[in-house]
Amino acid sequence: MKKWYILALVALLIAGSFVYAGGKQESVSGPKVYKLGIMTSLSGTFAAVAETQKNAILLAVEQKNQQGGLSMPWGKVKIETSIKDDEAKLDVGIRRFRELQQEGINALVGTVWNPMAAALNEEMKITPMPYLAACVPALDSFKKGNPAVATYSVAFTPWSIGYLSGASSINKLGKKKIFFLARSDSWGRTIFEGVKAAVEKYGGEIVGYAEAPLGTVDFSAIIRKAIDTKPDIFMASQFAGDAIAVIKQAYDMGLFNVTTVFNTFITSVVARGIPDAALSQVYALMYHYHDLSGLGDPEVEKRTLEYRKAYEAMWKEPPDAYGSIAYVATQTLFWAVEKAGSFDAAKVGAVLAATNPNNMIPTIKGDMFFRQDQQMVGKYLAFLVKGKAPAARKDKWDVFEVQGSFGGDEALPSLKSLGY
């Protein structure tokens, strides 16, 4: 009987060890590949800017894969990408996103057009997955109850572009009488709402207003109206090819002779399409610039320089502003997935929601965190730049001089205004 008892006990111990080993193995097992969807407008009005987004995302993926991949509880996981062109068309974008879903992607980054970002946020409510936009998403996407569980913005909303543009005009440049040209959609009109908020706070005046739809070719009637108005500053919310067109026409028609010209959000790719004589007089806001030497923040200068060197090694040119949005978005996603130890949207979203001034995300623009409305906060949200004259440039990409920076919670709409 005693022998039988010992044998039974040994059998139970062995079985228990298998159960424990099996349980342990199950707890640390997981996918061998992380599938990242990349979608942006690689054709159409925003194509040149979208190309920089794609390149920056691929750099972030390459850097993580060089480290062995994502550090997950079950080991290192390599990242694979699938790239789609939304053609800056909502129906195409949703169709391409669903193709990515069928391919089994674990998360999505990208998009250059903010109506597309809003549409994708709605898709994420139906089939949750982490989505970090590489653009400036629509303000409504971040009103209480609107963001999907893992939809986060590393680049604020158009309201902040307008608010910071207005603040720059009044406080930095001393230009209080503003003529504003909106793009006739949520982008332009929300930027204008931000400008009006800055005007109300700092004591400016809107002396003229006009709208033009995306893809406008002829801005001459609006420019003539601005010339007649003689504002302190002409502020245009146009982006990409539209920005090049309006600034070029403004220069050709003599608007630069009567006022200061300000583009509310710009990239280096756009700047290189503007005639040198005009660009050297243009002020603008940027998300990030590849040369922050002289900023006075050694750590941010160092991170930006390292990022620039890595990007140049891969793509033979410096990174651009919208590419940098995409890079920050992708690195933030990877950071959150590793912290969550999971690909699950709710768990990744919870990690991002838990960030705060004492639990920050390292980025090329310094350490950042997310507010309750899922917008990123940091010291350097945007930079005021002025175009350089050709004689002052070190190379063909040395197109701007950084003249100031903006950040903190004040740069974002109040949580109360968003329903929180």
Q: What is the 3-state secondary structure (H, E, C) of 120-187?
A: HHHHHHHCCCCEEECCCCCHHHHCCCCCCCCEEECCCCHHHHHHHHHHHHHHHCCCCEEEEEEECCHH
Has residue 7 been placed in a domain?
no
Q: Give the burial string for 372-411 (b: 16+ CB within 10 Å, else e).
A: ebbbbbbebbbbbbbbbeeeebeeebebbbbebbbbeeeb
Query: What pLDDT does residue 28 have?
Result: 64
Does one domain contain both 181 and 213?
Answer: yes
- Residue carrying structure tokens 């946020």: 121
Has residue 205 been placed in a domain?
yes
Has residue 22 been placed in a domain?
no
Tokens of 330: 């992708």
The edge-to-edge listing of strands for the beta sheet with 205-212 is 205-212, 177-183, 233-236, 260-263, 282-286, 382-387, 400-406
Tens-digit pLDDT profile for residues 36-53: 999 999 998 889 999 999
Query: What pLDDT does residue 325 have?
Result: 97
Structural domains of the chain, count: 2
Nearest by Cα to 386 from 252, 246, 234, 278: 278
Cβ contact 245:238 at 8 Å: yes
Does one domain contain both 83 and 204?
Answer: no
Cβ contact 68:77 at 8 Å: no
Range of the domain at 68: 33-155+298-377
DSSP structure string for 336-379:
HHHHHTS--HHHHHHHHHT-BTTBPEEETTEEEEE-TTSBEE-S
Does one domain contain both 311 and 389?
Answer: no
Tokens of 66: 């060089």
Angle at 377 between CA 290 and CA 149, to 5 degrees: 115
Enumerate the β-bridge partners of residue 262.
235, 283
Does one domain contain both 246 and 129?
Answer: no
Residue type, 210: A
Does one domain contain both 131 and 61?
Answer: yes
Has residue 17 been placed in a domain?
no
Cβ contact 285:164 at 8 Å: yes
Cα–Cα distance measured from residue 6 to residue 400, given in angstroms and rounded to the nearest whole number: 81
User: Coil, strand or helix: which one is 11?
Assistant: helix
Query: What pLDDT does residue 122 have?
Result: 95
Cβ contact 166:195 at 8 Å: yes
Cβ contact 240:268 at 8 Å: no
Query: What pLDDT does residue 26 have?
Result: 35
Does one domain contain both 171 and 150?
Answer: no
Does one domain contain both 396 and 260?
Answer: yes
Has residue 20 been placed in a domain?
no
The domain that holds 101 is classified in CATH as 3.40.50.2300
Angle at 286 between CA 283 and CA 292, to 5 degrees: 100
Query: What pLDDT does residue 10 have?
Result: 41
User: Coil, strand or helix: which one is 305?
Assistant: helix
The edge-to-edge listing of strands for the beta sheet with 361-363 is 361-363, 366-370, 376-377
Cα–Cα distance measured from residue 259 to residue 207, given in angstroms and rounded to the nearest whole number: 13
Cβ contact 84:103 at 8 Å: no
Does one domain contain both 220 and 173?
Answer: yes
Does one domain contain both 141 and 275?
Answer: no
Has residue 331 been placed in a domain?
yes
Nearest by Cα to 112 from 51, 66, 69, 164: 51
Does one domain contain both 373 and 397?
Answer: no
Does one domain contain both 269 and 239?
Answer: yes
Cβ contact 384:283 at 8 Å: yes
User: Coil, strand or helix: which one is 281?
Assistant: coil
User: Coil, strand or helix: which one is 275?
Assistant: coil
Does one domain contain both 282 and 398?
Answer: yes
Query: What pLDDT does residue 86 have?
Result: 97
Has residue 278 been placed in a domain?
yes
- pLDDT 10s digit of each residue in the chain, 420 long? 444 444 444 444 444 444 333 333 334 689 999 999 999 999 988 899 999 999 999 999 999 999 999 999 999 999 999 999 999 999 999 999 999 999 999 999 999 988 899 999 999 999 999 999 999 998 998 999 999 999 999 999 999 999 999 999 999 999 999 999 999 998 999 999 999 999 999 999 999 999 999 999 999 999 999 999 999 999 999 998 999 999 999 999 999 999 999 999 999 999 999 999 999 999 999 999 999 999 999 999 999 999 999 999 999 999 999 999 999 999 999 999 999 999 999 999 999 999 999 999 999 999 999 999 999 999 999 999 999 999 999 999 999 999 999 999 999 999 999 999
Has residue 15 been placed in a domain?
no
